[in-house]
């Protein structure tokens, strides 16, 4: 059983006892999203901690996008509420990688693919490099940022 899911449940119970309605609502939503993911597909299954983190990351990203939409509509109060919810979700995610760490992981991934191919990978091998880089990054950086760094490394 996923330890992260257990932690979410325990924190939900604590928030309910403290009558913290914001945290209670966010954690209920997060557990519902995890539950929905568990029954998605052909067969119900128990998610691993990594899969739970992916679900929480998606939910945090949704909150960020909603906050941006509220801001552009001039609804600052709702935008701040969404940002607060995203911050609560991020408490359960690993610390994001810094730019230097991410660049080094991308270089390592390029090196691995180069060792496999016996030559420097080009844009045709971007998929292979992305697969290796994403395995190293493990959800600690945004996919678009990783792709941009991989592309820059392969072109440069």
- The full set of domains in the chain, from first to last, is 3-91 (1.10.1510.10), 99-155 (1.10.10)
> How many CB atoms are located within 10 Å of the residue 108 CB?
13
Q: What pLDDT score does 101 carry?
A: 86
As a whole number of angstroms, the distance between CA 52 and CA 33 comes to 9
Q: What pLDDT score does 130 carry?
A: 86
Say which residues have a Cβ less than 8 Å from residue 73's Cβ, sequence separation at least 6.
none
Place of tokens 């257990």: 6
Tokens at 23, concatenated: 């945290």
Q: What pLDDT score does 1 carry?
A: 54
| Full pLDDT tens readout for the chain, 156 residues | 578 899 999 999 999 999 999 999 999 999 999 999 999 888 888 888 888 888 998 999 999 999 999 999 999 999 999 999 999 999 998 887 788 888 888 888 888 888 887 888 878 888 888 888 888 887 777 778 888 888 888 887
Q: Give the global pTM.
A: 0.73
């Amino acid at each position: 059983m996923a330890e992260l899911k257990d932690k979410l449940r325990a924190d939900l119970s604590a928030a309910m006892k403290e009558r913290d309605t914001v945290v209670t609502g966010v954690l209920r939503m997060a557990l519902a999203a995890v539950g929905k993911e568990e029954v998605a597909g052909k067969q119900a299954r128990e998610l691993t901690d990594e899969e739970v983190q992916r679900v929480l990351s998606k939910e945090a990203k949704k909150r960020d996008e909603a906050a941006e939409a509220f801001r552009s509509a001039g609804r600052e109060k709702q935008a701040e509420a969404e940002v607060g919810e995203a911050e609560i979700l991020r408490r359960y995610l690993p610390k994001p990688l810094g730019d230097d760490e991410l660049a080094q992981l991308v270089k390592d991934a390029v090196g691995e693919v180069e060792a496999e191919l016996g030559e420097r990978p080009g844009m045709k091998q971007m998929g292979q490099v992305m697969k290796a880089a994403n395995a190293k990054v493990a959800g600690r950086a945004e996919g678009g940022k990783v792709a941009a760094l991989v592309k820059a490394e392969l072109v440069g």
